[in-house]
Structure 1
Amino acid sequence: MLEKGKISHRQLTVLSLLYTIGTSILIVPSIMSVFSRQDGWIACLVGVVADITIIFIYSALSSRYPKLSFVEYSEKILGKWLGKAVSLFFMSFIFLLSAFLLRVVGNFMTTHIMPNTPIEVTIILFILVVIYAVRLGLETTARAGEIFLPFVIVLFLFLTVFLLPQIKIDRIEPFLEEGFKPVILGAFYYFNLQEQVILLMLVPYSNRPDKARNALLVGTSIGSLIIIVTVLLSTLVLGTEFTQRNMYASYTLAKQISVGNFLQRVEAMLAILWLITIFFKTAVCMYALSLGTAQTLQLKDYRTLTLPFGLLLVFLSLIVYDNIVSFISFTPKVFSLYATIFMVIIPVLLLSIDTLRASLKKEQSS
């Protein structure tokens, strides 16, 4: 199905970093401004602490079964049939998330880059590239991530440096104007937009699964730092009200940059940066979806599922929500609660059950 040890510890870090940035660099500034206003960057910090905390839980779980994926050790812990039910439930979550990612790509491209191109064309072209990457294998995608990562970092630093002269510090004041409640609410939404639990499907395919925690922590931390800086810049340059009204606030932010007469369309750089990161996040999700389903159904090769899943995702992405307004309403309020089941409740239950079972066996043997 897929050989163990196909990617290095460094490549797992890179994939974690690009996965963390994903769609967040484009849509998080607006969502944080809606719920936490000028304290959105503080909400992101709290959300990052939650992400790092949950990674310790994930690593504790995966360290018990270093050669198995999340789907495989779910069956080990819960038994064959209950484990398969949980695995398929988990696959439904990844499937829905993948549809959201595709729709965000389609909306952004048809709104800002190619307004005369039907959204269906954009989504189909994008998923075909993702399917091709998934079929080439995890190692190939991870190596591509290593190649593209320097470009992502350089583009981000370029955008940050040239926005510094437009910063107005008073736009993030007053701090905690409405107390901690909006910050905690924003942190909850930020935490659930990261979906780090899906990375557990890649851990056993690292050549150092025992070092997976460090890879996930480093990748998540650096990616989160980039998102926090983007949220902070959106508030400092655009202001809270303007950021709230723009779904793709960071893209609007890039439009504020003009470097002389030779570099006018700087926002295209942000679009490239974002397309790279969302490609890798979608590819990871497609891997997890195909691999997990193949493992649950005991298929020989996950690649046979990539094209059918791709076709289904195109269809679902077109009907998953009606417009941007419904997306903004559904994603934080409904999808976040749904994601909590898979990001927190199920991993904690699996770890608790496995720990309890191990302690009972130890008592019986003694």
Structure 2
Amino acid sequence: MIVKEKITHLQLGCLLFGFIAGFESMFLTETKLMRQDVWIANLFNTAAGIALLWIISFVQRQYPDLNLTEICDKLLGKWISKALLCVYLLNNMETLSGGFRAVSMFYTTVILPNTSSDYLILMYAACSTYAVYIGLGTLARTNLVILPFFLLGFLATCLFTIPEIQTNPFLPQLKSALPNRVLGSAHLFTFTFSQVITFGFLMSRVENLKKIFPSCAIAILMTSIYLIMISYLTLSSLGFNYVQTSTYPFFSTIQIVKFGEYLERIEVLLVGLWTVLTLGYMVIMQYVFTLVAGHVFGISKMKPFVVAIGLLCFVHASKSYIRTADHFSYGIKIYPLSSILPCIVFPVLLLVMTLIKRKREAKSL
């Protein structure tokens, strides 16, 4: 956080893949809502995510010497920029708190039932704060180490799940209710691909700005393939009814994989790798929150500010979404609406202002 270390476009793409793939595979809420039509939501949101990525990377390329917060100030003016950045900060904090709460729910439900969720949230917040302190470069290199092992474990799980497949769960098509399709698509977009705006605040740290779009677009495509695959495997191996009632359906899919007497060790290994990726999700959100908040409030000494943000994250997460039902209800009904302004309207507004500014400059010449 102290030294602004540059990262490569490949590292940014891998961070984006781990960011989306790690967290979204936990609940598979869109799969529960859309069932056999979930692939439609994935394809639609892939196109929307790539479009959003193009918008943000285009704006960043026009101002290679500025980061996104400075670009906002330049295009929108100081006070409008601060107002919109504050809206983003609120969305970031609710996303971050939801992430902390979701992981603690998973562990207290599946692995550590007698452990207080507040203790787990405190541990996650401490790890996340330390990761923010040591910097983006270290996080990017760690992600590159973890990701291959995660993918190998996932591929092994796929191979051993194939014998359990009896039918094609994506047929017949278009059988889910229209409201469920809308809710499922909105949920998937706001929890995954709409957070491309978060990576927009990191693009100025990439060495080659021109390669950001292709690298991150490939990451989004790979993420979409990954999400479609786990939805297919989960629905085909567990069935619609079981997926509907299971809190963590993909974890249940992993449990049916038979590796002989070492089943539990393999299962724990996969959960451990997934936990690291999910923690990376929270680190990136907290890192960007710290950057944006430092800019908005004019903080010059970032070292104590990092710790203060970590404490804020812990307090907010420990007091939010205490009941599982509240967490699910908020994620499906409220969060998609609260994310529209900071995650969709905000980048589109930056694009419009960039095009207007370019047109004015061209006329003046």
Normalised-by-shorter TM-score class: over 0.9
* Distance verdict in 2 for CA 1:293–1:40, change over 3 Å: same
User: TM-score scaled by structure 1?
Assistant: 0.93
Matched residue, 1:282: 282
1:155 pairs, out of 143, 153, 156, with 153
User: 2:170 — aligned with what?
Assistant: 172
Question: Contact conserved, 2:128 with 2:282, CA < 8 A, in 1?
Answer: yes
Moved more, 329-338 or 165-174: 165-174
Given that 1:66 and 1:210 are in contact with CA atoms closer than 8 Å, whether structure 2 keeps it comes out as: no
Structure-2 separation of matches of 1:326 and 1:303: 35
Q: Tell me the amino acid that sits aligned with residue 116 of structure 1.
A: N
Deviation at 1:99, TM superposition (A): 0.7
Greater CA drift, 3-12 or 70-79: 3-12
Partner of 2:351: 351
| 2:69 paired with 1:71 | yes
Q: What corresponds to 1:34 in structure 2?
A: 32
Per-residue deviation, residues 90-131 of structure 1 (Å, max 9, x unmatched): 112111111111111111111111111111111111111111
Instruction: Provide the residue aligned with 1:268 in structure 2.
Output: 268
The amino acid of 2:348's aligned partner reads: V
Percent of aligned pairs with the same residue?
A: 26
In 1, Cα distance between equivalents of 2:98 and 2:341: 18
Q: Which residue of 2 aligns with 1:225?
A: 225
Check conservation: 1:65, 1:73, Cα contact below 8 A.
yes
Provide the C-alpha distance between the structure 2 equivalents of 1:309 and 1:264, rounded to a whole number of angstroms: 37
Q: What aligned pairs does 1:236-315 form with structure 2 within 5 A after superposition?
A: 236-264=236-264, 266-315=266-315
Note if contact 2:197-2:343 (Cα within 8 Å) is conserved in structure 1. Answer: yes
TM-score, normalised by the number of residues in structure 2? 0.94
RMSD: 1.9
Q: CA offsets, 1:170-212, max 9 Å, x none?
A: 4433211247664344222211111221011111011112221
* Change in 2 beyond 3 A, CA 1:182/1:12: same
Residues in 1 aligned to 2:5 and 2:257: alpha-carbon distance in whole angstroms: 44
Cα distance in 1 for partners of 2:176, 2:143 equals 41
Preserved contact between residue 17 and residue 220 of structure 1 (Cα < 8 Å): yes
Identify which range, 255-264 or 286-295, moves more after superposition: 255-264
Query: Using the alignment, how far apart are the partners of 1:265 and 1:167 within structure 2?
Result: 24
Distance 2:201 2:35 in 1: 35
Moved more, 279-288 or 53-62: 53-62
* Structure 2: stretches of 5+ with no match in the other structure: none
Amino acid at match of 1:81: W
Amino acid at match of 1:35: L
Count of aligned positions: 363
Report if aligned partners of 1:255, 1:266 keep a CA contact under 8 Å in 2.
no
- Specify the alignment match of 1:140 in structure 2: 138
CA distance in 2, matches of 1:322, 1:264: 30
Report the equivalent of 1:97: 95
Asked whether the 8 Å contact 1:5–1:204 carries over to 2, the reply is no
**Alignment partners' CA distance in 1, 2:210 and 2:130:** 30
Say whether the 8 Å CA contact 2:5–2:136 is kept in structure 1: no
- Corresponding letter in the other structure for 1:270: L
Tell me the distance in 2 between the aligned counterparts of 1:96 and 1:305: 19
Q: Is the 8 A contact 1:68 1:204 kept in 2?
A: yes
Secondary structure at the aligned position of 2:339 is classed as helix
Contact 1:258 1:266 in 2 (8 A): no
Inter-CA distance 267–244: structure 2 relative to 1 (3 Å threshold):
farther
Instruction: Name the aligned partner's letter for residue 333 of structure 1.
Output: K
Once the two structures are TM-superposed, the CA of residue 4 in structure 1 deviates from its matched residue by 5.3
- Structure 1: how far apart are the matches of 2:224 and 2:49? 9
CA contact (8 A) 1:27 1:248 kept: yes
Q: 2: CA distance between counterparts of 1:146 and 1:264? A: 26
Confirm or deny: 8 A CA contact 1:22 1:274 kept in the other structure: yes
Cα distance change on mapping 1:86 and 1:2 into 2, 3 Å: farther
Once residues 230 and 47 of structure 1 are traced to their aligned partners in structure 2, the CA distance between those partners, rounded to angstroms, is 16
CA deviation vs aligned residue, 1:21-67 (integer Å, no higher than 9, x gap): 13101112xx1233212212332222222211211112122212223
CA contact (8 A) 2:3 2:135 kept: no
- Which ranges of structure 1 fall in alignment gaps of 5 or more residues? none
